[in-house]
Structure 1
Amino acid sequence: MKIEQLQCYLVAGPQDYPELSLTEFIVKIEVLMQSGITAYQFRDKGTHYQNCEERLDLVLKLQSLAKKWQVLFIINDDVDLAQQIHADGLHVGQGDQIQAALKVPQAVPMVIGLSVSNASELAASQDSGADYLGIGPIFATQSKTDAAPALGLAKLAEILPQNHLPIVGIGGITESVLSDLAELGLNGVAIISMLTRSDNPTEAVQKIREAWRGI
């Protein structure tokens, strides 16, 4: 993984486009890939499929598009699925998942991402074996109902100096704070609503990429 691949990191699944069919969802994701996102994390709630085969078929189609557009393809939480399809990476939350993910033999090496939400988790993550971190929520978000309390820019600036791993911010991120986050030293942002709900997703991707250009 190159650090630049974390700059514009889309996190999305069919639940983020509830009005669309799976075929229409794929089209939306490809538009974002074509627009210049650098990484894509498939994060789904498992509520849009008739069976496991339909989910796997969707993931394989998305993976193929990610390869076409040279986008890092990450699976959220599902170790077995990530291994089965030889995903570029796996993103996990707190708890025993990171240890399990790192201990599972990998036919093809995977990038491992870990979510952290506060200073103590950030400190503990430094020796976890994770390849990169996702810190947040930075701001209040409606995309994740069980999210931890928002950090805010001041707290983020206070705790970031203890970090020595590649790191992206997530949670309630809008265009107005992109330059602030880049200047704080984040390597990119992981985005849901700013891209999935945008009237002009191509422009939104360009604004994110521009914020990190030259950083």
Structure 2
Amino acid sequence: MGIEFPYRLYLVVSQESCAGRSIIEVAEQAIAGGVDIVQLREKNIPTEVFVERAMLLKDVLDKHNVPLIINDNLEVAMKVGALGIHVGNNDTPPTGIRATWGAPHCLGYSIEYLEQLQTDQTKASDYLGVSPVFSTATKTDTVTEWGLGGLARIRALTDKPLVAIGSINVDNAFEVVRAGADCLAVVSAICQAQDPAKAAEGLRNEIEKAL
């Protein structure tokens, strides 16, 4: 039995994505607008800096009872006491993470092929990232652009929670949820917005309408 995943609007944030603002500022505004889980994704900074940044973010998230997920750095996730970790196909495999960290930590895994739904890595995961639903400039190392049809096919083949990511915005959020997503993960539509709270609120409203 995996960990529960009741979240609907998932902010993926890095310092680079925040348009010159601090991660803390963007995250707090996004939470005010309806974000209920946050992933810190930092690929090109030293681990000690990643830990410091994650601790500052977690302190803020804890005040709002919003969980923190760390992208692909198990050392950071363990040191800061994050709810969990998210990995892709080129990262530490979920079975390896389970062997080191175990349950009840939340483990997300991005899939790029339908065949992955039957693997031990998927079985070890608590939720699946459908990445990308639509092509995106923020993640260029993926194989499959799933589209709404691909998302619907995955939904028909698994009971695991599905987190859709990839050019999700207020104009397509409704149809992505209707196609089978349990949760929408967003980078640019919130982080690059002039008003992150308003952007998050618009997305959250579309999610709620689709449920």
Which bin holds the TM-score, normalised by the shorter protein? 0.7 to 0.9
**Hey, what does 2:11 align to over in structure 1?**
10
Equivalences for 1:1-215 in 2 at 5 Å? 2-5=4-7, 7-17=8-18, 19-20=20-21, 24-47=22-45, 52-94=47-89, 97-106=93-102, 109-124=104-119, 128-213=123-208, 215=211
Q: 1:141 to 1:66 in 2, by over 3 A?
A: same
Task: Please report how far the alpha carbon of residue 190 of structure 1 lies from its aligned counterpart in structure 2 after TM superposition.
Answer: 0.7
Distance 2:204 2:64 in 1: 16
TM-score (norm 1): 0.86
Distance 2:191 2:79 in 1: 27
Q: Secondary structure at the match of 1:3?
A: coil
Q: 1:142 to 1:125 in 2, by over 3 A?
A: farther
The letter for the 2-side match of 1:45 is K
Q: Secondary structure at the match of 2:10?
A: strand
Contact 1:3–1:166 (Cα < 8 Å) also in 2: yes
Q: Secondary structure at the match of 1:189?
A: strand
Distance 2:48 2:155 in 1: 42
Q: Deviations over 1:134-154 (max 9, x none)?
A: 102111100112122311112
Q: Secondary structure at the match of 1:4?
A: coil
Task: Please report how far the alpha carbon of residue 125 of structure 1 lies from its aligned counterpart in structure 2 after TM superposition.
Answer: 6.4
Aligned-residue identity in percent: 26
Q: Secondary structure at the match of 1:175?
A: coil
Q: Secondary structure at the match of 1:46?
A: coil
Contact 1:15–1:45 (Cα < 8 Å) also in 2: no
Kindly tell me the number of residue pairs found equivalent between the two proteins. 207
Q: Secondary structure at the match of 1:202?
A: helix
Unaligned runs of 5+ residues in structure 1 are none
Contact 1:126–1:165 (Cα < 8 Å) also in 2: no
TM-score (norm 2): 0.88
